[in-house]
Amino acid sequence: MTLKSRARRVGAIVAALALTTTGALAAAGPASAASDVAGPGDSLFVNPHSTTLLAASTLTGQARADAQLLGSFASANWFTSGTPAEVTAAVSQVTRAADADGTVPVLVAYNLPFRDCAQYSAGGAADTTAYNAWIDAFAAGIGQSKAIVIVEPDGLGIIPWYTTLSGEQEWCKPAELDAATAASDRFAQVNHAVDALAALPNVASYLDGTHSGWLAVGEISDRLIKAGVERADGFFLNASNYVQTERLQKYGSWVSDCIHLSQNSWWEPGYCGSQYYPANPDDFSTWGATDAAYTQAFADTGLVRDAAAQAHFVIDTSRNGQGPWAAPAGKYTDAEVWCNPPGRGLGLRPTTDTGQELIDAYLWIKVPGESDGQCYRGTGGPTDPERGMVDPAAGQWFPQQARELIQLANPPLPPQTCAVSYTVHADWRKGFIARVTLKNTGTAPITGWQVDWNFAGTERVTHVVGGSVAQSGTAVAVTNAKWNATIKPGERTVLGFTGVKAPGATSEPLLFTLNGSPCVSD
């Protein structure tokens, strides 16, 4: 992706000294992307100790296989609480592992005071002072490492005591907050996060841009400008949601255009065309009318589009393969279409190879398979009437939803063509003997292979029979010997190895890959 130079970042920070108390810029330079962090060909970090694989360790059968499969993809790593010291240590653990792997992690900072307006994902720092200390510690955990940071999902979509461009007061009105200062406090908090991350040399940060089924382009553009988007790399769309990628591509380009027009001419965010006008939000074939409106806006202002200078964006494709859920008409007083909707599927796989100048990545920001919360759909609960069960709490593993996401993935997931069993044959205080059995479950021979896994603890392989081993930290890679390089369809090969460990530390690895593709448990 195209990311702004260190010199441009410093210039933007200097320009930001004109911030008002609401966080809006009195005079701002153009929004643009930051230093080179990740681009086409760069790999995103797959956390071998992710919450998904942790869930797999507690499951059996198909549910375990599903969690292992989803854990083989690069989902975001969420940081939602903890003391400053705790978050520094937790972030550092992930970024160090990604550094060793030569990949780029996606980190989510989610700890704003009154996040989600104290709804399903309630929590967050106690106040602005506590939040600023927490986000500074989050940044310290990254240090010189590379990272993509998603800054506060819903942080600009749901603002306490906020009045929109049209003069309407939004629904989030916590009695505990001062109505006169709550909104300006939110912008101050996000601006502080932007600056803390902008001071780091290898971070690409993105602010909440909601999605095309939510705020109009002008409304979210105005909020992004007030939040300091010109000092970040851009914004993210569709976090934890289901909107189709093609709609988000257009919406994001309009938001980028609206910000550029508003910061570099007499144009104002309220003038910006959107998915609601001149387009019809329910008829995607009309969205070309808004495209034309932006072409005219650039002509009227004398500006030209400049992908290198405009705000870039990333899209959450973790669950949008089937688009949003259309609830049965008249069935629910509040269908909560965003909350564990049935029949959804995985979308595009996480990648920085987007082929789009303004789109830096397709990411799995929401961890697919984790619940949105306990959904009542206007009833008294606790049962989700659409699913006939009590949904897991927000962030907990949801086996039924994980199965749907895999079955209905669009594009479909490729079939898994390997199975692995792992058996510990002997275990003593400081050592162990184990066996790994690889099976070719595909239809073509495997000629030449490498099997990879990560130990959960301190285990270290000392000798392998049936291959050659390399280990870095917890990561182990075994390549074939000459005599077992080919595994025919339906056949197996066996590796035996000895290892050393700390007393009582032997544990089963949670994910095996063969030539980079995930294997099922055999």
Tell me whether residue 312 is in a domain.
yes
Tell me whether residue 471 is in a domain.
yes
CATH assignment of the domain containing 106 = 3.20.20.40
181 shares its domain with 294 = yes
Tell me whether residue 491 is in a domain.
yes
165 shares its domain with 281 = yes
Percent of the chain with pLDDT over 90: 88
**Residue 323 pLDDT grade (very low, low, confident, very high; cuts 50, 70, 90):** very high
314 shares its domain with 431 = no
**Residue 453 pLDDT grade (very low, low, confident, very high; cuts 50, 70, 90):** very high
Query: What confidence score (pLDDT) does residue 30 get?
Result: 36
305 shares its domain with 429 = no
CATH assignment of the domain containing 469 = 2.60.40.290
Reported pTM: 0.91
179 shares its domain with 295 = yes
Residue 41 pLDDT more than 90?
A: no
Query: What confidence score (pLDDT) does residue 7 get?
Result: 31
* Contact call for residues 495 and 433 (beta carbons, < 8 A): no
Closest of 367, 361, 366, 253 to residue 314, by C-alpha = 361
276 shares its domain with 424 = no
136 shares its domain with 267 = yes
Tell me whether residue 58 is in a domain.
yes
Identify the domain containing residue 516 by its residue range. Answer: 418-521
DSSP assignment of 416-485 equals P-EEEEEEEEEEETTEEEEEEEEEE-SSS-EES-EEEEE-SSS-EEEEEESEEEEEETTEEEEEE-GGGS
Query: What confidence score (pLDDT) does residue 85 get?
Result: 98
Tell me whether residue 410 is in a domain.
no
Query: What confidence score (pLDDT) does residue 374 get?
Result: 94
Query: What confidence score (pLDDT) does residue 36 get?
Result: 75
Tell me whether residue 136 is in a domain.
yes
| Structure tokens that stand for 43 in this block | 């790999």
16 shares its domain with 152 = yes
432 shares its domain with 288 = no
| Domain boundary, last residue among 306, 337, 367 | 367
Query: What confidence score (pLDDT) does residue 478 get?
Result: 98
| Domain boundary, last residue among 367, 382, 405 | 367
| Domain boundary, last residue among 307, 335, 367 | 367
Tell me whether residue 387 is in a domain.
no
299 shares its domain with 440 = no
**Residue 457 pLDDT grade (very low, low, confident, very high; cuts 50, 70, 90):** confident
Tell me whether residue 50 is in a domain.
yes
Q: pLDDT, tens digit, for every residue of 162-200?
A: 999 999 999 999 999 999 999 999 999 999 999 999 999
* Contact call for residues 495 and 466 (beta carbons, < 8 A): yes
88 shares its domain with 201 = yes
DSSP assignment of 380-393 equals S-SSBTTTTBPPPP
Q: How many domains does the chain have?
A: 2
292 shares its domain with 172 = yes
